[in-house]
């Protein structure tokens, strides 16, 4: 499964970089995140509850940041086990581009799933992955973007 996109956050690049490396911010931004613990500067352990079609499972896994070029880009590598629900693993290439005090986040995700999760069907899984990605960015924006910038953006929409 592949997923690519970009999202604008009305905050400086360094503030966005720091936020996506802060376990408290990530815990609040990741949909279904039950636990998130920073093991080192580049490694996290997590428990995330996910519902895909009729399946609902807690995935226990790890996340590692590779190829870090602070504050411009990194590769996020993760894998999780959901018991009988199956597994998920993948990586995301993430790039931050600053423009006029705002930051454009570009991402390109490659993921693989197995077990019962893979039996649900690729369209359902792709739809859930897209929805969770959008929800993650909405949560991230709410956590780090200044309130006045959010109000201006909502007024312009």
Domain containing residue 19: 2-150
pTM of the model: 0.81
Whether residue 54 lies inside any domain: the answer is: yes
pLDDT of res. 152: 56
The residue assigned the tokens 């504050």 is 71
- Mean pLDDT over 3-11 rounds to 92
157, part of any domain: no
Contact 96, 16 (CB under 8 A): yes
pLDDT computed for residue 65 by the predictor = 92
Q: How many domains does the chain contain in total?
A: 1
pLDDT digits (tens, 9 = 90+) for 83-113: 888 898 989 999 999 988 899 999 999 888 8
The 10s digit of each residue's pLDDT in 68-77 is 999 999 999 9
* CA distances, 93 to each of 34, 117, 148 (Å): 24, 24, 30
> Which CATH number do you get for residue 117?
3.30.530.20
The stretch 43-56 carries a mean pLDDT of 90
pLDDT at 112: 86
CB 72 within 8 A of CB 96: yes
The pLDDT of residue 125: 83
Residue 156: inside a domain, yes or no? no
d(CA 64, CA 110): 15
């Amino acid at each position: 499964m592949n997923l690519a996109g970009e999202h604008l956050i009305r905050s400086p690049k360094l503030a966005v970089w720091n936020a996506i490396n802060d376990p408290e911010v990530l815990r609040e931004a990741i949909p279904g995140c039950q636990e998130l613990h920073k093991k080192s500067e580049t490694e996290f352990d997590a428990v995330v509850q996910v519902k895909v079609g009729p399946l609902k499972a807690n995935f226990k896994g790890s996340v590692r940041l590779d190829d870090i070029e602070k504050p411009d880009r990194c590769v996020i590598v993760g894998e999780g086990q959901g018991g009988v629900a199956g597994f998920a693993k993948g990586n995301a290439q993430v790039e931050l581009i600053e423009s006029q005090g705002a930051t454009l986040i570009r991402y390109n995700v490659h993921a693989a799933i197995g077990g019962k999760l893979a039996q649900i069907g690729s369209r359902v899984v792709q739809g859930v992955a897209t929805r969770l990605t959008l929800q993650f960015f909405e949560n991230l924006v709410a956590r780090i973007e200044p309130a006045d910038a959010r109000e201006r953006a909502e007024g312009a929409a």
